[in-house]
A and B are shown apart, each in its own frame.
Chain A
Amino acid sequence: MPSAEEIKRRIEDAIPGARADVEDLTGGGDHFRATVTAQAFTGRSRIEQHRLVYNVFGAEVGGPIHALSIKTQTT
């Protein structure tokens, strides 16, 4: 069961220069909300920005991570 801290670390490790704030919405380790700030998002559509974050977790999203709510920003 991933922790908010682990989700944060994995996003920041995978996306260069990213800063992530991750909240465990239920305390149950399966519903998270991530606010991710990264220069890597510049010039990408919102869909592509969210895909970058989802891709960090692959099939875990929808599996062990039931819900990952994402907000992306560039600054």
Chain B
Amino acid sequence: MSEQPTTLREAIEQAISENEVILFMKGTPEQPMCGFSARTSAALQALEAPFAAVDILPDPRIRQELSAVSNWPTIPQLFVRGELVGGADIVAEMYQSGELADVLGVEPPADAPDDAPAPAPPAAPPMGIENRLG
């Protein structure tokens, strides 16, 4: 049983340490609010890896504190077993190379696509580049 976190930063640190795989993103896996977050959560879903997701949009302090904890400026951020694995670019590269499946301990994608996976329906409508901002 963990102690109740007293600050937002402690709550973030606790979420990272208590969830084997946790994604901080804009929106939710079902309704991502940014193309980068959509691609990253879609990669995890394509691998059928269970993950916790935190929407950082409701409170701008979440992003500030998260970036202070992780020393990483952008969203999304994927943590596995307490370690920052990467943002959208790194996760996409690792998905394609099969490394992401290794890190997550799941089967690699059956046929590796040329590009990052499109969000699987009904995850998200296709997003234009203008919608990539949160």
Range of interface residues on A (Cβ < 8 Å): 10 to 19
- With both chains docked as a complex, state the minimum distance between the C-beta of A26 and any C-beta of chain B, in angstroms: 6
- With both chains docked as a complex, state the minimum distance between the C-beta of B37 and any C-beta of chain A, in angstroms: 11
CB-CB nearest in chain B for A51: B71
> A9 at the A/B interface (Cβ < 8 Å)?
no
- With both chains docked as a complex, state the minimum distance between the C-beta of B128 and any C-beta of chain A, in angstroms: 10
> A61 at the A/B interface (Cβ < 8 Å)?
yes
| Interface members, chain A 16-75 (any B CB < 8 Å) | 25-26, 31, 46-47, 50-51, 54, 59, 61-62, 66-71
Cβ-defined contact, A31 with B87, below 8 A: no
Chain A hits for B84, CB < 8 A: 47
Top 9 closest pairs, chain A to chain B, by CB: A61-B73, A54-B73, A66-B133, A62-B73, A69-B89, A70-B89, A46-B90, A26-B129, A47-B86
Binding site for B on A (CB under 8 A): 25-26, 31, 46-47, 50-51, 54, 59, 61-62, 66-71
Can you list 23 contacts pairing A with B, beta carbon distance less than 8 Å?
Answer: A25-B129, A26-B129, A26-B130, A31-B129, A46-B86, A46-B90, A46-B93, A47-B86, A47-B90, A50-B87, A50-B90, A51-B72, A54-B72, A54-B73, A59-B73, A61-B74, A66-B132, A67-B36, A67-B74, A68-B74, A69-B88, A70-B89, A71-B89
